[in-house]
Amino acid sequence: MTPTPAVLSVPARPVSDPCGPGYISSLTVADAGRPRRLVLLGATGSIGVSTLKVAAEHPESYRIVGLAGAVNVTLLAEQAAAFRPPVLAVLTGERAAALARLLPAGYRPDILVGPAGYAAMAAMAEADLVVSAIVGAAGLLPTLAAVAAGKIVALANKESLVLAGDLIRTAAAGSGAVILPVDSEHNALFQALGGAALPDLPLVERLVLTASGGPFRATSRAGLEAVTPAMALNHPNWSMGPKISVDSATLMNKGLEVIEACRLYGLPVAQVDVVVHPQSIVHSLVQLHDGSLLAHLGPPDMRVAIAYCLGYPRRLSLSVPRVDLVKLASLTFEAPREEDFPCLGLARQALGSGASHTVALNAANEVAVDLFLKERLAFMDIPAAIAAALDAHSGETLADADAVMDLDVRVRREVADWARAR
């Protein structure tokens, strides 16, 4: 398989300017004596809340100019009252009216509505950096809007890259947008490669993504058949939204992250390994051709990765718990149980089959996870639903975001039919 070009300009092979001209030059602009202006998409989610905690630790460095939620207007109103951005966005007109009623007297921001509102907020001229933290395929269009507008994009919404890595790369090349990975593994790779982002960059041999193994790392196959939503939402190390928590339990999260890594770094799937590391302290590693392994270690707290993106190329101080190595005593690694957790292999299969297959994979996963959370599918039906969707998908050319979203809708319908027929 020919390596795909990378979204990030950190290379898989030596080049003279690994970070590309867009990176440092565009980022130094925001350092020129004024706070960096942030738009936060998915403000009311787990990443959104963590992002605001990081910004609140550095009030002199950040100004929040846009906050977007979907339905949780109570939390959005609290966040808006604290940070006073001039623009807010929610999913529907009804939510917008409810939000307006909750805002403090005398504070009257513009309230944008729906996908078009999110895209407008992502592209607003007043923003330097957009944190893309909407969950699922709904994050694609606003992410593309931020990239097309040439923003610094701190990308948590990994589904965007799974759906449309090529479109994002092309848009970034056209606009000069800078994409910084928030996902802890890819952020770790980015940090580890930071030292190697020099003209004499050694060759990268492989990327090693670490996985916690989720709550069912040691659960028998029979036990997996009996997993309930409450069990799947109870992640041992990370506190996250419901969809990614289930993805972590099925190992689909790692599958999506393999695709994300291949598309960010332009490496073929054979050069991206997964290793289970239950302590979640080593967040990923880069293996170089001289046998060196460059790793990033830290507490399992997304504020570390978020802060690296918000501050880049500077580092921010952060009041997260420090890792106590002596108390930890050991860091362990093991191979993933791929036969019992088929989602990882299904993601690799989709990646190898072509761009539209990863759209089908993602849509099938989103529907299956949603039905599992509603107790209408069993835990092990999730990989079955995805396998059925991939089997039924013969591949198609996706010229633009509309084509991607059209395929996404069709596959969702097929998977819902498949689930009803069970």
Q: Report which of 342, 355, 319, 309 is spatially closest to residue 129, judged by C-alpha positions.
A: 309
In whole angstroms, how close is the CB of 16 to ligand NDP at the nearest point? 32
In whole angstroms, how close is the CB of 370 to ligand NDP at the nearest point? 11
Our CB check for ligand NDP shows the closer of 40 and 208 to be 40
Rounded to whole angstroms, the Cα distance separating 339 from 414 reads 25
Rounded to whole angstroms, the Cα distance separating 162 from 89 reads 25
Q: Report which of 101, 11, 3, 83 is spatially closest to residue 44, judged by C-alpha positions.
A: 83
- Cβ-contact 251, 341 below 8 angstroms: yes
Our CB check for ligand NDP shows the closer of 22 and 277 to be 277
Our CB check for ligand NDP shows the closer of 70 and 367 to be 70
Surface-to-core class of residue 296, CB atoms within 10 Å of its CB (0-12 exposed, 13-18 middle, 19+ buried): buried
Our CB check for ligand NDP shows the closer of 183 and 408 to be 183
- Tell me the two tokens of residue 235: 């992640």
Residue 262 interacts, among ligand NDP, Mg ion, none and using kind-specific CB cut-offs from 5 to 8 Å, with none
- Note the maximum CA span of the chain: 62
Helix extents (H) in 87-183: 93-102, 114-122, 140-148, 158-175
Residue 98 interacts, among ligand NDP, Mg ion, none and using kind-specific CB cut-offs from 5 to 8 Å, with none
The CB-nearest residue to Mg ion is 183
Residue 18 interacts, among ligand NDP, Mg ion, none and using kind-specific CB cut-offs from 5 to 8 Å, with none
In whole angstroms, how close is the CB of 185 to ligand NDP at the nearest point? 8
Rg (the chain; Cα; Å):
21
In whole angstroms, how close is the CB of 121 to ligand NDP at the nearest point? 11
In whole angstroms, how close is the CB of 241 to ligand NDP at the nearest point? 2
Our CB check for Mg ion shows the closer of 183 and 301 to be 183
Our CB check for Mg ion shows the closer of 40 and 240 to be 240
In whole angstroms, how close is the CB of 184 to Mg ion at the nearest point? 5
Our CB check for ligand NDP shows the closer of 88 and 91 to be 91
Our CB check for ligand NDP shows the closer of 153 and 302 to be 302
Element (H, E) at 344: helix 343-353
Rounded to whole angstroms, the Cα distance separating 391 from 266 reads 26
Interacting residues with ligand NDP (CB under 6 A)? 42-48, 69-72, 91, 118, 133-135, 138-139, 156-159, 183, 238, 240-244, 302
In whole angstroms, how close is the CB of 309 to ligand NDP at the nearest point? 12
Strands of 27-161 (E only): list them: 36-41, 62-68, 87-90, 110-113, 129-132, 152-155
In whole angstroms, how close is the CB of 44 to ligand NDP at the nearest point? 4
The three-state secondary structure class of 251 is: coil
- Cβ-contact 212, 248 below 8 angstroms: yes
Residue 237 interacts, among ligand NDP, Mg ion, none and using kind-specific CB cut-offs from 5 to 8 Å, with none
| Number of continuous H segments (helices) and E segments (strands) in the chain | 18, 11
Q: Report which of 385, 380, 325, 335 is spatially closest to residue 361, judged by C-alpha positions.
A: 385
CA–CA distance from 46 to each of 111, 140, 155, 303 (Å)? 22, 18, 14, 10
Does 247 participate in binding Mg ion (rule CB under 5 A)? no
Does 260 participate in binding Mg ion (rule CB under 5 A)? no
Residue 45 interacts, among Mg ion, ligand NDP, none and using kind-specific CB cut-offs from 5 to 8 Å, with ligand NDP
Our CB check for Mg ion shows the closer of 183 and 408 to be 183
Residue 211 interacts, among ligand NDP, Mg ion, none and using kind-specific CB cut-offs from 5 to 8 Å, with none
Contact pattern for Mg ion over residues 171 through 190, marking x by CB under 5 A: ------------xxx-----
Query: How many beta carbons lie within 10 A of that of residue 99, not counting itself?
Result: 21
In whole angstroms, how close is the CB of 80 to ligand NDP at the nearest point? 12
Q: Which residues sit at the interface with Mg ion, rule CB under 5 A?
A: 183-185
